[in-house]
Amino acid sequence: MLVVRPISMSDYEALHTCAVESGHGFTSLPVNEELLTNRITHSEYSFGKESVTEPGDEGYLMVGFDSETGEVAGCTGIEASIGWDVPFYSYHISTVVHSSPKLGVNNVVKLLTFGNNYTGCSEICTLFLRPSFRQGLNGRLMSKCRFLMMAEHPERFSKTIFAEMRGVSDDDGNSPFWKWLQEHFFSIEFTLADYLTGIGKKGFIADLMPKLPIYINLLSKEAQAVIGKVHENTKPALRLLEKEGFTCRNYVDIFDAGPTVECDLQHIETVRHSFRAKVHVAEHSSSKDFLIANTSFENFRATAAKAAYDQEECSVILAPNVAQALQVQEGDYVRMHAQ
């Protein structure tokens, strides 16, 4: 059984393994000991922070682990409010019309405009599931457990939730979009730029990035072709978020032009349709799958399991091993979402 819990410093080696296996373009998991350690420390601080009434500098990082072996299967995270301490940049795609009635010319062109439009929003990020665990409901659990947390503790998150999706790059980490930017504005490789961003050294972006809007039709054909497209490995994650109600509002990443998708917290499908139930611990024969989380924040736990839900009584029967994994007892409450 895969169980999600807050990360701790003892998970460093496992997080480092995830960083290595995630490959190029996964900005939020740089292969850097200091940064990974700081990320864990900040998450421990954030989960331990009490009486939070609005999103601030908190960053919540969680791991999924095998309840039988203890092996870490992957990680998933939420940044409560981005852009306050370190600027968060993106490109917005807009449309303009160049028209001359006298000449009978009417051209529709698109622009990329540099900005900080997601400042203050909550970001779901750092979702990575190791290949050997990509089966059953594991992927859904690692992604959707964050929405169960948001439904139970909405005061900790912003009205708008967004996610940056990994853009197109090859096996060596080369991005067609970045190749055009590099040729005209930068002198460093995509992998280095991506790494520097991951470790927080974003000053070069503001220094070198073109400040005026860029006409998309001036980019190379290769660069134009990948704007708003996702990496092959990211397609399942994008489909899952689209089913949750996330959509692209014409914002893309400034390095690989991968799409940014967003949704109002209250409109996220899992948030809307999740519910609380009172726990009874007993063996049962139900065959219905649920994603289930406890109602604690500091000791958050979530898993995917079969449960017997009674809608009239607003109660649920959990098998003893599931209750133990969630750290709940008879009479406690859990938040659930049917699968």
Whether residue 94 lies inside any domain: the answer is no
Please tell me whether residues 80 and 133 are part of one structural domain: yes
Whether residue 63 lies inside any domain: the answer is yes
Ranking 83-92, 145-154, 178-187, 265-274 by mean pLDDT, the lowest is 178-187
- Rounded distance between C-alpha atoms, residue 36 and residue 297, angstroms: 22
pLDDT in tens, 230-243: 998 889 889 999 99
Whether residue 243 lies inside any domain: the answer is yes
Please tell me whether residues 51 and 78 are part of one structural domain: yes
Rounded average pLDDT over 27-33: 80
The total number of structural domains that make up the chain = 2
Across 182-220, b (16+ Cβ under 10 Å) vs e yields beeebeebbbebbbbbbeeebeebeeeeeeeebebeebe
pLDDT in tens, 89-105: 899 999 999 888 888 88
Please tell me whether residues 74 and 169 are part of one structural domain: yes
pLDDT at residue 24, rounded to an integer: 63
Q: Give yes or no for residue 190 having a pLDDT over 70.
A: no
pLDDT at residue 201, rounded to an integer: 58
Please tell me whether residues 14 and 53 are part of one structural domain: yes
Whether residue 100 lies inside any domain: the answer is no
* CATH number, domain containing residue 140: 3.40.630.30
Q: Give yes or no for residue 278 having a pLDDT over 80.
A: yes
Q: Is 27 exposed, middle or buried (0-12, 13-18, 19+ CB in 10 A)?
A: buried
CA distances from 148 to 140, 144, 232, 283, 294 (A): 12, 7, 27, 24, 9
pLDDT-derived band at 313 (thresholds 50, 70, 90) equals very high
Rounded average pLDDT over 60-70: 96
Q: Which residue type is seen at 46?
A: S
Whether residue 37 lies inside any domain: the answer is yes
Residues noted as catalytic: 231
Whether residue 303 lies inside any domain: the answer is yes
Whether residue 213 lies inside any domain: the answer is no
- Rounded distance between C-alpha atoms, residue 53 and residue 50, angstroms: 9
Ranking 23-37, 118-132, 274-288, 302-316 by mean pLDDT, the lowest is 23-37
pTM above 0.75, yes or no: yes
Please tell me whether residues 284 and 148 are part of one structural domain: no
Please tell me whether residues 125 and 60 are part of one structural domain: yes
Please tell me whether residues 124 and 55 are part of one structural domain: yes
* Long-range CB contacts for residues 37-44, cutoff 8 Å, separation at least 24: 37/9, 37/12, 39/15, 40/7, 40/8, 40/9, 40/11, 40/12, 40/15, 41/9, 43/6, 43/7, 43/77, 44/6, 44/7, 44/8, 44/9
Average pLDDT, the chain: 91
Ranking 96-105, 120-129, 136-145, 152-161 by mean pLDDT, the lowest is 96-105
Please tell me whether residues 26 and 65 are part of one structural domain: yes
- Could you tell me the residue range of the domain that residue 288 belongs to? 275-338
* CATH number, domain containing residue 307: 2.40.40.20
Whether residue 102 lies inside any domain: the answer is no
